[in-house]
Structure 1
């Protein structure tokens, strides 16, 4: 009915226009043309939003049907519920042991995690986008071939259910990336990573949500619901692998896989207290995955990597994937199997490890005390383990930040804005979308204003302008290459180093009410290593306590190091951090993931030792 009214109004307006063209003044003609354009624009807006609304309704109807089927299947199980749920509390090592001695079957373990995931889904904060219906068939297939297989030759994830971030393409399922316009467009085939996991006996059983357009840390998703931090619903879960972070932190999956282009694995892992690994960009295959930024990103590649509760979980995942199965399916992946010697430390007993607890630059957001304290604790653990630890400061961090942001929005944000058109946009993305729509001179003036006012770390508007022509793009590539060389030289001069320990973020999980200007600048702590293409992982080191919160509150009431109100506001955001997880980042040289995991394991072991003491 509404559409009919709009069409009638358009016809009436057109009749008026043709009549006036013959007998009225130029002024009235111009006004009428303007009103006509406005009417067309309003009709287009109404039509497109109504179309998205229908598409969302269709998608949610299918989702409900899938959930109802899963609920019916789980309710018909004859296995004791408490026994199944107890299996989800076991770590991956224990699950593998039970699988090896045949006291646990792949199908029973799958049912356990499906039951747990379904219960969590009903709470409204599971991080799940869809249950994979075929998981039952894959488990049956494993059980039918179980007797014929040689146990020692099985992969570390054989028979283990795994969760998959939604943009890691699975045949028959959407990769919406939080965009309604991408609903009801199922992938035609599995990506290489999923094919290898299935070939190695892992069972993908759920897809997990992303933040909108995979470009924010807030966890907002208009299709599947928002992913909130399990340690406090008023805190953000991080992004874009927010669904994985939420699911794993609530023990609803033994191990999961996300993607990382600016910290999308490491940030949710940090905010949700998980171990994670962003490998070198070509160490694991990303062939066949959904990429909605393929026409806007340059010199940056989305890296797929594991997320879990312990470092050994990540090592199991890497061992499973770094096999001829992956090397044969993707010729761009170098045939480098998992290096057990480097992981165990047999090749080099004592390492030279650099560290920093803050990026000391007035244009970079500064870390809060609890982050610095945990870096120092990690340093002490490494020294106690016999490693040489030296201070290190990345060269010119504000330049690195600018280069990274220019690469991230190399097209000036045109592709992102086209994806966001007519979508219900979350506040964090809305701010970025607004800035991307400003003329270049306005963005430049905004940065000057912000720098003069005090919040220098938020003065990044100009970096979103993109490369305006071919020569500008070539100049950008040259600057990136030179910075990578500069960083490599600093790395060598400081040691040479084997790895670095540093912050993942300037603070623990921030409140969901925080404005984007206090959230987005923190991405420099992870984005630096996407710019450099260095592997980086996260390892939990503890939780913020009452003393940490009090120190931040005291800091918020006195002048901050940058001499502006911005740092004080960051400190005041730490109100309520007591009980939130704190995580540190470990960085290595390209294709040295095993060394990164080795150092992470040492830090993790020191935390376990402290608990016993």
Structure 2
């Protein structure tokens, strides 16, 4: 045995000597090249395999969507949708509710009308639709359903949403349907149950019948994602629809749904609504339940929460949705939602006839994007309308909006963008996210260099890359939360000092919808006007006030020249972007105190009525 062991040891030593000798005959360079080529080949093969899996996943999803569309076509082939029924899609929520209550139309007939209209839009190619809810009409069919309705029928019929087809952003999870967030990797993973909001809608008698697209990873202001393709502005296909709730805005604006439900963590409901001439509402956090909704930022965002909110063509329709949702059903299903029914007295003004309303036209700071002249003009018209209605109008200046914007970005990118980069890995990244993805992938010193260069060339609003570096410690996270709380106190103090305000009217975005090929650096900084109210958690809504006309274009061209002569290259570019925007909607934003959504809606309705009188 000892002899065998000695021989084995000698054999191993011999082979080792031979291996060392073989390696010695080859240069270190050759060995490194061989290892490098092997590693590269392994990486390429791995990428190709992952790409193949992604392509198969996408193909399977697209086949599923085709089957979904064909199934809806088959259902509608058996329905008799006349021109008179199809004409109902032009009516608002209140008018549709009256027709159902009077028996002029049944919920099923109304559903078929909106399914037909939505399908027509889908076939034109810019509907904002992900897929149809195939079980939509089962709510009002079958003997078992009738028995269930007997118990709740009287309650359901009191709801403004009874029998009303409604669209939902695909982030509101529904049993049996994907919630992709515009990502291929999230396809073909159907949800196991409905989110709370879907349950509440169905209990109110509403008919969720279609689901709409988001921007990729819900982080861009365009309407593009690799799963469902492009969605552009329904008023001008060369302009963006807004994001991330662009699908909702596109569908409702084209009368493919009477009302819709979107979500907002940094303007995702308000910006698309403003670009598409709609009314929208971002409530206070937890005024509406977000329980069970898709959350692609649960490991990256601090303090901020997505808020579900309605989108519609008229403010009264928003109020109807809120009435239907703010019921004991939602209060019981989500204990985080305070049991606050819709306040009719606050909405109709009987509790307080004269309001104190602040306004501002733009942020006057070189580090923030200036608002276009057409937006400032819309603010002036809104303030004048409210003044004529008997309200007290005062000027308001938000405290240190640059600080607020940077705090918002630090909260959104608390992880340094790690989660977003993970979501975008092995995905075809859309143009509006490419630069952001590149910045997030850069080391800190490059981020600071980008900011220094941006300020040097006069592009101050772009100099925020350093705020996306992420938090390095638990103490840094605590310090950020403290800074947010301190700013919220500072903001509320300014709100009180301005005259104990009931509401504020301000820009929803610095300009109307920009061209689809606009670089992200001239779009993303505009969210500072809406993200402020996510940071302080005040309810805010948008309301359309009119359209860009030829005179507005002339004024913008003149402003572009003036700013260029003054050395404001960035502001000049923003003003010059208004070329070709004639006919696009203009909107303003209305903000109120926390949990005073009804007052916000009341002010929005007054502005809407004034705009209708002025343009009509």
Structure-2-length-normalised TM-score? 0.94
3-state secondary structure, aligned to 1:235: strand
Is the aligned partner of 1:51 residue 2:53?
A: yes
1:165-217 deviation digits (Å, cap 9, x = unpaired): 00010110000000000000001000000000001100000000000000001
Q: Which runs of 4+ in 1 moved over 4 A?
A: 17-23, 145-148
Go from structure 1 to structure 2 and tell me whether the alpha carbon gap of 1:564 and 1:117 turns closer, same or farther (over 3 Å shift).
same
68-77 or 391-400, larger mean C-alpha shift: 68-77
Change (3 A) 1:313 1:20: farther
Q: How does 1:103-114 map to 2 (within 5 A)?
A: 103-114=104-115
Q: Residue 6 of structure 2 aligns with which residue? A: none
Among candidates 241, 244, 248, match of residue 244 of structure 1: 248
- Indicate the RMSD between aligned Cα atoms, in angstroms: 1.7
Tell me the equivalent position of 2:92: 91
Q: Confirm or deny: 8 A CA contact 1:228 1:246 kept in the other structure.
A: yes
Query: How far, CA to CA, are the matches of 1:168 and 1:561 in structure 2?
Result: 49
Question: Does the C-alpha gap of structure 1 residues 29 and 115 become closer, same or farther in structure 2, counting only changes over 3 Å?
Answer: same
Classify 1:119/1:495 alpha carbon distance in 2 versus 1 (closer, same or farther; 3 Å): same
CA deviation after TM superposition for structure 1 residue 314, in Å = 0.5
Question: Quick one: structure 1 residues 288 and 31, their matched pair in 2 at CA, closer, same or farther if it must change by over 3 Å?
Answer: same
Partners of 2:299 and 2:219 in 1: CA distance: 15
> What is the alpha-carbon distance in structure 2 between the residues aligned to residue 26 and residue 79 of structure 1?
78
Find the counterpart in structure 2 of residue 35 from structure 1.
37
Tell whether the 8 Å contact from 1:352 to 1:499 is kept in structure 2 after alignment.
yes
**Per-residue Cα deviation, 1:143-163 (whole angstroms, up to 9, x for no partner):** 846788337952110100000
Deviations 1:561-606 (A, max 9, x none): 9732111111111011110000100001110000100100111111
Structure 1 runs not aligned, ≥5 long: 1-16
CA contact (8 A) 1:263 1:527 kept: yes
Does residue 574 of the first structure (1) align with residue 578 of the second (2)? yes
Q: CA deviation at 1:444?
A: 0.5
Paired residues of 1:110 and 1:139 also in contact (CA < 8 A): no
Structure 2, unaligned runs of 5 or more: 1-18
- Once the two structures are superposed, residues 382-413 of structure 1 have per-residue CA deviations (whole angstroms, 9 ceiling, x without a partner) of 00000001001111111111000010110000
**2:139 & 2:334 partners in 1: Cα distance?**
23
- Which residues in structure 2 correspond to 1:105-184 (within 5 Å)? 105-140=106-141, 144=146, 149-150=153-154, 154-184=158-188
- 1:308 is aligned, of 292, 308, 312, to 312
Between the two proteins, the alignment pairs up a number of residues equal to 595
Contact 1:356 1:501 in 2 (8 A): yes
Cα distance, 1:607 vs. partner?
A: 1.7
Match of 1:225 among 222, 225, 229: 229
CA shift in 2, pair 1:611/1:519, >3 Å: closer
| Residue of structure 1 in register with 2:217 after alignment | 213
Instruction: Give the conservation status (yes or no) of the 8 Å contact 1:561–1:567.
Output: no
**CA shift digits 1:349-404 (9 cap, x unpaired):** 10111100101111000001000000000000000000001001111111111000
Q: Secondary structure at the match of 2:236?
A: coil
Structure 2: how far apart are the matches of 1:241 and 1:428? 15
**TM-score when scaled to structure 1?**
0.95
* Higher Rg of the two aligned structures: 2
Q: 1:598 to 1:21 in 2, by over 3 A?
A: farther
Pick one of 276, 279, 303 that aligns with 2:280.
276
**How far apart, in 1, do the equivalents of 2:22 and 2:559 lie?**
68
Q: Is 1:391 equivalent to 2:395 in the alignment?
A: yes
